[in-house]
Amino acid sequence: MRFRHKSLILLLMAAAAACGGRLAFGSTQPVHAQHGIVVSVHELASRAGVEIMQAGGNAVDAAVATGFALAVVHPAAGNIGGGGFMLVRMADGKTHFLDYREKAPAAAKADMYLDAHGNVIENASTIGYKAIGVPGSVAGMVYAEQEFGKLTLKQVMAPAIRLAREGYPLSWGEARDLHDKYLTQFAESRRIFQRDGNYYQPGEIFRQPDLARTLERIATKPDDFYHGRLAGELAAVMQKGGSLITADDLAHYEVKEREPIRGTYRGYEVISAPPPSSGGTVLIESLNILEGYDLGKLESRSAQSIHFTTEAFRRAFFDRAEFLGDPDFAKIPVAQLIDKKYGAAWRDSIDDAHATASKDLKRPSIFSELEQYAAAHPQALGIHESPHTTHYSVVDAAGNAVAVTTTINDWFGSRVTADGLGFLMNDEMDDFSSKPGVPNSDGLRQGAANAIGPGKRPLSSMTPTIVVHDGKTFLVLGSPGSSKIITTVANVLMGVVDYGMNIQEAVDAPRFHNQWVPDVLNVEQWFSPDTVSVLQKMGYNVEFGLYDGGDVSPYWSDAECIAIDPKTGERLGASDYRHNGKAVGY
Ligand code: DON
């Protein structure tokens, strides 16, 4: 994902700095649609969703069609070998949150990525068979289709099957991404994605007959993936490669319907992802802290507004590290964390003119539950969470809305392709804490609640979010970007709510990020140097861009969002110019 469209970025950098956070040129207007719209990272996947709505499907049918299509046209992150979260808000106001996050296999152990000396084994939780969690995407999408869709699974999977069988032309960036050196290490991945070394060229048609067959089998008999022959084949391939995943693990996989997290921000209702994602909790905790400041008056991307927002992020990420994990394995004090009184207490600790050093943060003692938990679990460090995933948003003609973030974690996941089945497997085990005290490639740290355990779901940052105003869906938001997902969603939401931007301007606006540790304020490359200099004087350690596993990326995340115009009802789709996303409506 990093360094894609670099020349465009360089142009944008030059133009954007002095525009109150809005870009001076480029697509500052969203795509307008009267009926339905899909926004995703790939035009063909967005089109798949629209095709399904035009054939009579609702937003869930379209989301499932888009999800399967992304598994074909965006193999780096779209998937059937990973997991995700789907937030649905139907036109009548009913909400559903589907957790189809991967699970640790039953044989997983807390220290499985440590060597005999207790040191983390490099790449053990990211590359290869041992990194793979039990995949949930097929279960999740099938569940969504069966519970909330109007069409049949066969109908909604048809576009994906067609794209896999007939192929699609690779863009320059897609062809280049397939050169990934870790894919080369796995014979089946090398065969399928690298044509055994005769690499695909830009413009060439990429066909995936094995994947087409697997998708056809799922469409015909979805249960087969977890309980039938397909499950047997997948388990055999996993075992042969040295994965811990067994047929029993697949048979025990289950989708969880969870209560989404709810908060309010300046009169808007914010509905978002509950644990095992940290996304909704950290988002709403941050917004609660910020509600006490008149950010609109301070102007978008002014040093003062960035200061307050960063201090809110810092505090919410501090709590993320302490408390969040799989709610089926630990009691997560979400109610206290998203209590407005707690937000106000955190706000009192913010100095108007100076950055707080992360090491000096002291949690307000207003809830004994938080204090007791923190005393029992001294702040532990260490989590792996990597920056590649994908988000898509859908609204249909009736006003049903769906936000989905799905991942195989790293770019191309574990790089393992299931032999003969044609799809890549995740490396989601890396989202657990491999070892307390060892920060991950993103420098993220977190506690005991996220230790590896059999059957457990690793903590996520994925933040599919729906914002409601006057009882009606107003915004559908989300992004990839690991820990940056949460601050990206906050940046976009505040762009609209606090700074009066249209949804495209809010997606385009330069992002900033802080996650408690490392104690750094990351700003996208085209921030105004004047603003940065004021922030430095306030005590911030500002870094332009983001260190991303060896490279510095000038930008991050990929917000694929929708707003519904409250006056006209028009669907306004904003894809992120940082990538090749596309809003397609009708
Ligand atoms: O679940 C998580 O938070 C991570 N596995 C997501 C990784 C991610 O967002 C990568 N995005 N570009």
In a 10 Å sphere around its CB, with 0-12 CB exposed, 13-18 middle and 19+ buried, how is residue 372 labelled? exposed
Stretches where the chain sits below pLDDT 50 are 1-26, 380-387
CA of 538 to the centre of ligand 1 (A): 31
Give the predicted TM-score (pTM) of the model. 0.94
**How far is Cα 216 from Cα 231, in angstroms, rounded to an integer?**
15
Alpha-carbon distance of 382 to 452, in angstroms, equals 12
Give me 345's structure tokens: 């207490």
Q: Is 487 in the pocket of ligand 1 (CB under 6 A)?
A: no
Tokens read off for 395: 């609204």
| 580 Cβ closer than 6 Å to some ligand 1 atom | no
> Hunting for tokens 């930008």 — which residue is that?
555
Closest atom of ligand 1 to 405 CA is 9
Q: Considering 389, 406, 407, 473, which one is annotated as catalytic?
A: 389
> Is the CB of residue 58 below 6 angstroms from any atom belonging to ligand 1?
no
Residue 115 CB coordination number (10 Å): 11
Reply yes or no on whether 356 is catalytic: no
**Whole-angstrom Cα distance, residue 224 to residue 104?**
20
| 431 Cβ below 6 A of ligand 1 | yes
List the beta strands (DSSP E) in 496-540: 512-513, 521-523
* Separation CA 183–CA 196 (nearest Å): 11
Our mutation pick for probing the ligand 1 site, out of 281, 385, 426, 430, counting the most ligand atoms within 8 A of Cβ, is: 385
pLDDT of 142 reads 98
Inter-residue long-range contacts of 292-299, CB under 8 Å, 24+ positions, other chains counted: 292/343, 292/344, 292/347, 293/347, 295/494, 295/498, 295/499, 296/498, 296/499, 296/500, 299/20, 299/499
**Ligand 1 center to 146 CA (angstroms):** 27
> In degrees rounded to 5, what are phi and psi of residue 35?
-115, -80
Cα separation, 391 vs 404, in Å, equals 6
Q: Give me the amino acid identity at 248.
A: D
CA-proximal residue: ligand 1, atom 10 (nearest):
388
- Angle 140-456-319 (CA atoms, 0-180°, nearest 5)? 100
How many Å lie between the centroid of ligand 1 and the Cα of residue 480?
Answer: 6
Q: How far is CA 281 from CA 348, 384, 386, in A?
A: 20, 19, 20
Please tell me the distance between residue 406's alpha carbon and the centre of ligand 1 in angstroms: 8
Distance 427 CA to ligand 1 centre (A): 11
Torsion angles phi and psi, residue 490, rounded to 5: -65, -45
Long-range contacts of 499-503 (CB under 8 A, 24+ apart): 499/20, 499/21, 499/295, 499/296, 499/299, 499/300, 500/296, 501/21, 501/22, 501/300, 502/28, 502/29, 502/30, 502/563, 502/572, 502/574, 503/30, 503/475, 503/561, 503/562, 503/563, 503/572, 503/573, 503/574
Q: Does ligand 1 come within 6 angstroms of the Cβ of 409?
A: yes
Name residue 339's amino acid: D
* Residue 407 CB–ligand 1 contact under 6 Å: yes
Tell me how far apart the alpha carbons of residues 361 and 393 are, in angstroms, rounded to a whole number.
36
In tens, the pLDDT along 215-226 reads 999 999 999 999
Q: What residue ranges do the domains of the chain occupy?
A: 55-257+387-431
Instruction: Tell me the CA end-to-end span of the chain in Å, nearest whole number.
Output: 29
Angle between helices 484-497 and 303-323 (to 10 degrees): 140
The CA–CA distances, whole Å, from 341 to 278, 338, 516 equal: 20, 9, 21
pLDDT (tens digit, 9 = 90+) per residue, 102-114? 999 999 999 999 9
**Strand pairing class (401-407; 438-439):** unpaired
Sheet holding 542-544, edge to edge: 512-513, 521-523, 542-544
